[in-house]
């Protein structure tokens, strides 16, 4: 009897990801979390702060961050991605939401859905807000990647405060400002040493920030929920696609929640 090898066509749900053109982390982390029943398919969007090979300056300027959420590039990418047989589209970019705020973020996803043939579009920070509501957490600590400067991190604080949350701590982490130079061990140690007792949850921003591998260890050590950018985005995309997030294990408490 012939035994065929897996070829990716057993996926029941397919998630599209809009990601900066030189950033592989959103799709890498989603592929790590996804079971064989979920497929991940990325579309690349030009991002002026990234060069070939994923190289960035030590801190990213705000102008290209804002521009990433504006037409026409991301809109065109969403339309092309929506031509594929996918069930939801995930906007894999944290910092633009910090710059434009929650209301403009909602307007952006609504605009993209006009180009997606009705396929639902979810965004990272809005997904984090939904996850915090599901978890019943009001007081958060916010840790951003080292390439977010103090101004961008402060905009992140204001984003969550504008949504009615109390941000008891917010800072970029003091780790190497290089995607490939950060290890799970380093992020774990930094987060544990800077987590305030008053925070009910830890939010780690930045879709380009290697973080999902430390979620389980951080939740065990901190005894509180941990949310990372690609984790909550994946969770929200599964819900939008009508899939059950509880199929995902080992990547945080949030996946133990059922669809409403």
Q: Is 5 domain-assigned?
A: no
The C-alpha atoms of residue 87 and residue 40 are separated, in whole angstroms, by: 10
Q: Is 6 domain-assigned?
A: no
The C-alpha atoms of residue 246 and residue 69 are separated, in whole angstroms, by: 30
Q: Find tokens 């026409």 and name the residue.
A: 72
| Domain extent for 114 | 13-256
pLDDT band at 258 (very low <50, low <70, confident <90, very high): low
Given a cut of 90, whether residue 81 has pLDDT beyond it is: yes
Helical residues (DSSP H) of 49-149, grouped into ranges: 62-68, 73-82, 95-113, 124-135
The C-alpha atoms of residue 195 and residue 190 are separated, in whole angstroms, by: 9
- Give the bridge partners for 44, in sequence order: 19
Given a cut of 80, whether residue 259 has pLDDT beyond it is: no
Question: Global pTM?
Answer: 0.96
By three-state DSSP, how is residue 223 classified? coil
pLDDT band at 116 (very low <50, low <70, confident <90, very high): very high
Secondary structure of 231-253 in HEC code, one letter for each residue: HHHHHHHHHHCCCCHHHCCCCCH
Q: Is 125 domain-assigned?
A: yes
Q: Are 177 and 88 in contact (CB under 8 A)?
A: no
Closest to 89 (Cα-Cα) out of 40, 36, 34: 40
Q: Is 7 domain-assigned?
A: no
pLDDT per residue over 168-215, tens digit each?
999 999 999 999 899 999 999 999 999 999 999 999 999 999 999 999
Q: Is 140 domain-assigned?
A: yes
By three-state DSSP, how is residue 36 classified? coil
Distances (CA, A) of 16 to 31, 62, 81, 184: 12, 26, 7, 26
Q: Is 106 domain-assigned?
A: yes
- Return all residues near 153 (Cβ < 8 A) that are at least 6 apart: 142, 144, 170, 171, 172
CA-based torsion, 131, 194, 191, 251: positive or negative = negative
pLDDT of residue 184: 95
Q: Is 1 domain-assigned?
A: no
Q: Is 74 domain-assigned?
A: yes
Q: Number of structural domains, the chain?
A: 1
Q: What is the CATH number of the domain that holds 180?
A: 3.40.50.12500
* Other Cβ atoms within 10 Å of 93 Cβ, number: 26
Given a cut of 70, whether residue 102 has pLDDT beyond it is: yes
pLDDT of residue 200: 98
Q: Are 230 and 92 in contact (CB under 8 A)?
A: yes
């Amino acid at each position: 009897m012939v035994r065929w090898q897996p070829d990716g066509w057993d996926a029941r749900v397919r998630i599209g990801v809009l990601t900066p053109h030189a950033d592989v982390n959103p799709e890498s982390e989603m592929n790590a979390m996804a079971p064989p029943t979920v497929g991940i398919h990325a579309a690349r969007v030009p991002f002026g702060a990234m060069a070939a090979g994923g190289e960035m300056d030590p801190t990213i300027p705000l102008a290209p961050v804002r521009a990433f959420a504006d037409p026409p590039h991301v809109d065109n990418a969403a339309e092309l991605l929506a031509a594929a047989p996918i069930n939801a589209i995930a906007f894999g970019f944290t910092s633009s939401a910090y710059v434009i705020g929650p209301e403009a973020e909602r307007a952006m996803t609504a605009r993209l859905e006009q180009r997606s043939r009705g396929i639902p579009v979810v965004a990272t920070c809005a997904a984090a807000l939904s996850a915090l509501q599901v978890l019943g957490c009001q007081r958060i600590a916010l840790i951003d990647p080292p390439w977010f400067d103090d101004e961008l991190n402060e905009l992140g604080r204001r984003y969550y405060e504008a949504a009615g949350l109390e941000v008891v701590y917010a800072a970029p982490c003091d780790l190497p400002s290089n995607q490939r130079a950060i290890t799970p061990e380093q992020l774990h140690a930094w987060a544990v040493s800077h987590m305030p007792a008053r925070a009910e949850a830890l939010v780690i921003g930045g879709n380009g920030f290697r973080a999902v591998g430390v979620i389980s260890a951080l939740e065990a050590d901190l005894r509180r929920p941990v949310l990372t950018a690609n984790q909550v985005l994946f969770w929200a995309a599964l819900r939008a696609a009508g899939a059950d997030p509880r199929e995902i294990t080992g990547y945080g408490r949030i996946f133990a929640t059922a669809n409403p």
